[in-house]
Structure 1
Amino acid sequence: MHTLSNAPLRTVVWSTGGVGSIAIDAIARRPDLELAGVWVHSPEKVGRDAGELAGGEPLGVTATDDADALIALQPDCVVYAASGPDRDGGAVPDYLRLLAAGINVVSTSSTSLVYPPAYYSPDWRDQLQEAATSGLASFYASGIFPGFGSDQLALLLTTQSKKIDVITVTEIALNDHYPVADVMMDGMGFGRPLDFEPMLKTPGFIEMAWKAPIHLIADGLGVEVTEVRGTLDRRVTHRDIEVAFGTIPAGTCGAVRTRAAGVVNGREAVVVEHIIRMARDVGPDWPTSEFDATYRVDVSGDPDIHCAMNLGAAEGHGAGRAAMAATAMRVVNAVPYVVAAPAGLLSSLDMPNTLPRYAFE
């Protein structure tokens, strides 16, 4: 925990992909935050101006792949936005170094850490907690789904509930903008025939992927989840689809639907559904949206509650940027709150509403 002062919080952005680039631009616009450094993975990005890497004007901050140099800057916080198929395997060692050095971390990379008590690796969680405690630093992971759409929005709506039978949170997304081919193809199976077994089909993977938001909701509502059940469904595209990571050929997977259900008192009571398409006309029998990203909360109980939150402009105008912007801002807006928080691993249950500062500037 750091004492708040009038000085801008010195912030490092870790990676300059879609989310990282939005974070760089957002930090540069805010008087309460100062862009102190930027980490990049690709050698061709080393030495380039961070603002130009983010698609904007030069900011006078040079990107580097030297983690030690960034740690030596002793920033107040790192916005960690690196991505890849083995996100935590690469990220957790970085988190440990940063936290032990007394540097707060907000991350969009490790979605399983949106609720640390349910983290799939208790050993890593304990190491992170120890590093945070010893370094007097805090760690917070969020985003849009998992993140706001799968936890805080749902819990906010349940403040109207007298009785809850089932609460279902759903993301319906058009992800043709996402450029990381190994995540989309090997991880999720897009562009592969249906007999291909993506990482999603690994036994227990879906349960592990959505365990954190399910347990977060349950904890917020004061109930215990005794089991998580996962299912996977896929649909083929009947035409070639051009997407950010290449071409999805006709006859291969063009839409993926996962469902994870948390069992409470013997029934499926907390459900997370995730529907991703590469084009709007794939899987027309599934729930659809004219928006690039729609987040639904459906509460069956007394009263029944149905809420849809849409991001971006309708029908092809958002290009997926809205969801990435929301993901980035969930952690950028949280920076002052995380810096001020007690040391340790945090979830949204531990945080106030991370209201944006200087959003009207």
Structure 2
Amino acid sequence: MIPRPSYRVVQWASGNIGARTLRAVVEHPRLTLAGLYVHTPAKAGSDAGELCGLDATGIIATRDIDEITALGADCVLYTPRACDFDEVCRLLASGANVVTTRGEFHRAGSLDPAVRRRVEAACDRGRTSIHGTGSSPGFITEALPLVLTSIQRRLDGLTIDEFADLSRRDSPGLLFEVMGFGKPPAEFDERRLSVVRDSFGPSLRLVADTLSLRLDSVEATGEVATAPRPVHIAAGVLPAGTVAAQRITVEGLRDGRPVLRFRAHWYCTTDLGPAWDLRPTGWHVTVDGDAPLDVDIRFPVPLDRMAATSPSYTANRAVNAVPFVCAAPPGIRTTADLPQIVAVLGPS
């Protein structure tokens, strides 16, 4: 058997997702941790193992990007809360491929043209590639739809319903400030819709491009349901009359009809006004074509453990993509550009 190559990997950021990818790299049979970049000053100087719950690795966290680019790593796992295109271009130009869980790189054509030119120029200089992936968007909006449509010869519509019960998620900042739960319904505005449209719209367009399906536009709509009485959740209290559930729909339209649809149902209680038909946390995918499909994917994890488990759904696909991105031609590489991502789970 021909030995498979190994890769030297840098982890960029060690937050919720980054700590999970960091741990996966350390434990991976064919990845070697080459470096760790952190944003928090208190983390600088710490051993990487300390930051992901493992024994010491000998790799010390740094906040110096020059130290990172000097490592000559094969790949950087880029998982910060916000994307810095200057950082990304420096990494790519230095000769390091990039796999990121950021949402900006799911489809090259969805980037600002000037930004796209900068990133592609950096890839040309470094002979490197960059790929954006994760669970949602990513696996559920790109990889799985492309597999399911591989047995179709006619596609009338594909709908992805995402359900997330957030009642046991002890993250007040995320739920109340970022997502807008516990606020008056009138505060659910266009800004919230645009964030979701910009996150999931590129995936829908990528699937359409890959299947040679024409889309006239990608639109987002939203609705909320309120708590008829105060609701106590792990993150705090939802006052009566405030947002307790939200449904945001992103649709790829052709001739006024939705061809591709992603619909998020995020809720903190099932006691709602008006009542909604909600499923447990997971995904439900329906394919309307000449080979119709109805696929239900549930996360068999107790709600009080979901916050600890859910980062794996995003982090693991990024780690598994590293060998494929390192082998790809230079440029922005999408799910459609790469081979099917196959995990390496053992040493052979």
| Both proteins in one fold, TM over 0.5 | yes
Which is further off, 126-135 or 327-336? 126-135
Which residue in 2 is equivalent to 1:320?
307
- Label 1:319 to 1:205 Cα distance change in 2 as closer, same or farther (>3 A): closer
Residues 29 and 347 in structure 2, CA contact (< 8 A), matched pair in contact too: no
Q: How does 1:245-324 map to 2 (within 5 A)?
A: 246-251=235-240, 252-279=242-269, 281=271, 285-290=275-280, 292=281, 294-313=282-301, 315-316=302-303, 318-324=305-311
Which residue in 1 is equivalent to 2:75?
77
TM-score by length of structure 2 reads 0.89
C-alpha deviation, 1:241, in angstroms: 3.9
For residues 15 and 177 of structure 2, the distance between their equivalents in structure 1, rounded to whole angstroms, comes to 19
- Label 1:306 to 1:356 Cα distance change in 2 as closer, same or farther (>3 A): same
For residues 171 and 289 of structure 1, the distance between their equivalents in structure 2, rounded to whole angstroms, comes to 9
Residue type at the aligned position of 1:217? V
2:210 to 189, 197, 220: 220
C-alpha deviation, 1:239, in angstroms: 3.1
Residues 187 and 199 in structure 1, CA contact (< 8 A), matched pair in contact too: no
Matched, 1:114 2:101: no
Residues 181 and 238 in structure 2, CA contact (< 8 A), matched pair in contact too: no
Residue type at the aligned position of 2:62? T
- Label 1:320 to 1:199 Cα distance change in 2 as closer, same or farther (>3 A): farther
- Label 1:52 to 1:281 Cα distance change in 2 as closer, same or farther (>3 A): farther
C-alpha deviation, 1:207, in angstroms: 3.1
Which residue in 2 is equivalent to 1:189?
180
Q: Which runs of 4+ in 1 moved over 4 A?
A: 4-7, 279-284
Give CA-to-partner distance per residue, 1:262-305, whole Å, 9 cap, x none.
11244221111112223455678434333x4x122111222321
- Label 1:144 to 1:234 Cα distance change in 2 as closer, same or farther (>3 A): same
TM-score by length of structure 1 reads 0.86
For residues 201 and 14 of structure 1, the distance between their equivalents in structure 2, rounded to whole angstroms, comes to 28
- Label 1:208 to 1:24 Cα distance change in 2 as closer, same or farther (>3 A): closer
What's the % identity of the aligned pairs?
29
Residues 214 and 254 in structure 2, CA contact (< 8 A), matched pair in contact too: yes
Residues 47 and 60 in structure 2, CA contact (< 8 A), matched pair in contact too: yes
C-alpha deviation, 1:320, in angstroms: 3.3
Number of aligned positions between the proteins = 344
Structure 1 residues without counterparts, runs of 5 or longer = none
C-alpha deviation, 1:178, in angstroms: 7.3
- Label 1:339 to 1:171 Cα distance change in 2 as closer, same or farther (>3 A): same
2:41 to 27, 40, 43: 43
- Label 1:206 to 1:331 Cα distance change in 2 as closer, same or farther (>3 A): closer
Give CA-to-partner distance per residue, 1:8-54, whole Å, 9 cap, x none.
31111111112111111111111211111112111121112221211
- Label 1:318 to 1:154 Cα distance change in 2 as closer, same or farther (>3 A): farther
Which residue in 2 is equivalent to 1:235?
225
Which residue in 2 is equivalent to 1:329?
316
Q: How does 1:130-141 map to 2 (within 5 A)?
A: 130-141=121-132
The DSSP-based 3-state class of the residue aligned with 1:262 is strand
For residues 343 and 356 of structure 1, the distance between their equivalents in structure 2, rounded to whole angstroms, comes to 22
C-alpha deviation, 1:151, in angstroms: 1.3
Matched, 1:20 2:18: yes
For residues 171 and 47 of structure 2, the distance between their equivalents in structure 1, rounded to whole angstroms, comes to 22
For residues 312 and 68 of structure 1, the distance between their equivalents in structure 2, rounded to whole angstroms, comes to 43
Backbone CA RMSD of aligned residues: 2.6
The DSSP-based 3-state class of the residue aligned with 2:185 is coil
Give CA-to-partner distance per residue, 1:228-286, whole Å, 9 cap, x none.
1211122334434444xx42432333322210111124422111111222345567843
Residue type at the aligned position of 2:325? V
